[in-house]
Amino acid sequence: MVDPSDRHLFINRELSWLAFNDRVLAEARNASLPIHERIKFLSIVSSNLDEFFMVRVAGLKHQASGGIAELPADGMMPQEQLAAISERAHVMVTEQYRLWSKELVPLLSANGLHILTRENLSAEQKNAARQAFQTQVFPALTPLAVDPGHPFPHLRNKSLNIAMVVRRGDRRRKKDATESSMAVVQVPSVLPRLVSMPATNGTAFLLLEELISMHASDLFPGFAVEQSCAFRVTRNWDIDVDEEESIDLLASIQQELRRRDRGAAVRLEIDNAATPAIEAMLTSALKLSTSDVYRVEGPLQVSDLTAVSDVDQRPENRVEAFVPSQPPFMKDESIFTAIAQKDLLVHHPYESFDPVVRLLEEAADDPNVLAIKQTLYRTTGDSPIGRSLVRASENGKQVAVLVELKARLDEANNIAWARRMEDNGVHVVYGLIGLKTHCKVTLVVRREGNGIRRYVHIGTGNYNPATARIYTDVSLFTARPEIADDVTALFNLLTGYSTQPNWKRLAVAPNTLQTKVLEMIERETQKARKGEPARILGKMNALVDPVIIRALYAASQAGVEIDLLVRGICCLRPGVPGVSERIRVISVVDRFLEHARVFAFGTGTATDVFISSADWMPRNFHRRVEVMAPVEDAALRLRLLDEVIGLGLKDNVKARQLQADGSYLPRPLALDGQTIRSQTMMLEVAKRQVPATAEPVLRHVASPIDKPEPRATPGTINVA
């Protein structure tokens, strides 16, 4: 009998995340992609690692230093995890820079895009570099000495810096001539990282830190610069606010944001040419160990290098641009009319985010709209949704917005919107103490005839038009009274004093969401034990919760067929004999970031389908306000099964399958040799703009159980 608490049945969360980032790196290695798409993925690898170290590694270091042992289900101690992370991350960074220097830089040069170094400049380029330094860069620099009278400066998180060893040039003073000193120069982030240089063919750039290092002696008159190297510090970037003791949460978080740049260092990235003495000085000053040092053969902060694509508009060097299609109902005179007739589903980014924006814009100007309520977790700096909410308030409507100030890395942007909306009469609240409000919900209350009708939007992604073009998400629009009742109760809970209601249709964290998921898993488990067909399908960003994982193991042992699309972290081990033979886990990494959360339980017409803001993680179940909503329209359920889940499960181009040992392998081609790239096929589906009354574009392909026989119909992509 298998012990479900056996730690070997669980993959470590942090190592699973590194495996995900390695799948992103694999896209940068993919020679079939255009050069700028490969650089984009290389940049994402760096950005992902930044956040990983700022949050996850910082948290583990805090646990290790404080003697805290918050053991995950896999049983690894904090120090064990840090050691394993360091080993794998070093391998990843080495491969990342090998890829840059050995493959991408030569490919850029072959396309007339030259990244120069100070050693390979022509005389003309040296003169241009000198001119650029004196007129554009030198005035913005501040050299900082490091000696007993000048302590090591506090460097901002992720700032790019240059460490220098300088020696007094006056040889007449023997003592001074033998002494060397350290200095630090911060590379100004307000200046372009790529400095244009004259080129005999194509376009040439010199990195800003190279330009500064070339002319470092200008910063230290009377001294000779003997060595220089670029380096970068990553710090603990979490904020710590005692919400119960805070009188003004917004002011407290603003104060913490100002302090955050002073968080403890967790990683040092440094040019591989740095001498041991420079490395020792930096690790000592930053209180880091050698395992925290990442020496790189190439430019730091790779994400800046995507700017090279701005000067190269050749279509063959980038992915084909696309315009999201407009859903057919957008032709209706009013979006309220469309929603009143039937539930609507929009699949982003294949279909435009405009319906979400239009709902708020119409509501702001419609004289029959009485109130608008919305949760706002992340949005853009100049959000059309934010502007609509402000305009609605100016038009005399009651507008209440829950702005989540603790949305990690977006705190400052959310504070700015909260201030702006408050100044314009919007009722702004900041959620429940101790919880993040992560659900994406809008409620519009409208007078119609002699009564009131409520319109609801529930999404899997943020109210952010920018990310809606690069993240895959789904939006559900409905006017169903029981869902509207639940959403009304949710906002009353968030904005006022209220006990937990008896939810009619929604499952809401932190009280009922995990329980509902477990109930649905148990229902399928019991069906399988009776010999009935049973199936569980899930699409999510992460699967971590050990309670859910154990329930899935039990379901598999009972005979339930389980297919999961998990983009990132997955702590479940599929294919373990006697435990999870019937569980398959697929990860798709492609042009768009897979972000939708869709769950299905059952077979055939008895399948229950839900969309949610929540992944299956402890934080989503217990430390956040999340919503899972049923999709009650039969046609929309079928679309989610066929298109959103089904195509992902059939992908054999950009999908990789999780193995029991935690590794991911490419999926084999179909027996007939057919290649299925799910995101490409979904783009084609969206382009067709099939009317809402038409037969579904795709056949039911979501599960090996209860599939109808393949049948081709006009206008159908048949992937069964």
First to last CA, the chain: 37
Residues with a catalytic annotation lie at: 438
From the DSSP assignment, how many helices (H) and strands (E) are in the chain? Answer: 21, 27
| Host H or E run for residue 610 | strand 608-612
What is the C-alpha separation between 485 and 191, in angstroms, rounded? 52
- Residue 578's φ and ψ, nearest 5 degrees, are 75, 0
**Cα three-residue angle 507-509-513, rounded to 5 degrees:** 45
Q: Is the preceding omega at residue 198 within 30 degrees of 0, hence cis?
A: no
Q: Is 686 helix (H, G, I), strand (E, B) or coil?
A: helix
| CA nearest neighbour of 696 among 717, 682, 675, 674 | 717
Residue 666 makes CB contacts below 8 A (sequence gap 6+) with: 652, 655, 656, 657
Contact 222, 168 (CB under 8 A): yes
Contact 96, 46 (CB under 8 A): yes
Beta strands at 471-478 and 451-459: parallel, antiparallel or unpaired: antiparallel
DSSP assignment, residue 152? Answer: P
Helix pair 78-99, 58-66: axis angle to 10 deg: 150
For 429, counting Cβ atoms within 10 Å of its Cβ (0-12 exposed, 13-18 middle, 19+ buried), the class is middle
Helix pair 354-365, 384-394: axis angle to 10 deg: 10
Residue 114 makes CB contacts below 8 A (sequence gap 6+) with: 108, 199, 202, 203, 204, 205
- Helix spans in 182-228 (H): 208-214
Write the DSSP string, 86-138. HHHHHHHHHHHHHHIIIIIHHHHHHTTEEEE-GGG--HHHHHHHHHHIIIIIG
How far are the Cα atoms of 241, 302, 353, 391, 443 from residue 364, in angstroms, in the given order? Answer: 35, 42, 17, 6, 12
Contact 195, 211 (CB under 8 A): yes
| CA nearest neighbour of 584 among 543, 629, 644, 631 | 543
Q: What would the two tokens of residue 307 be? A: 């700017």
Amino acid at 556: S
Q: What would the two tokens of residue 689 be? A: 């703009």
User: From its phi and psi, is residue 699 left (phi > 0), alpha (psi between -120 and 50) or beta?
Assistant: beta
Beta strands at 160-168 and 223-235: parallel, antiparallel or unpaired: antiparallel
Contact 306, 39 (CB under 8 A): yes
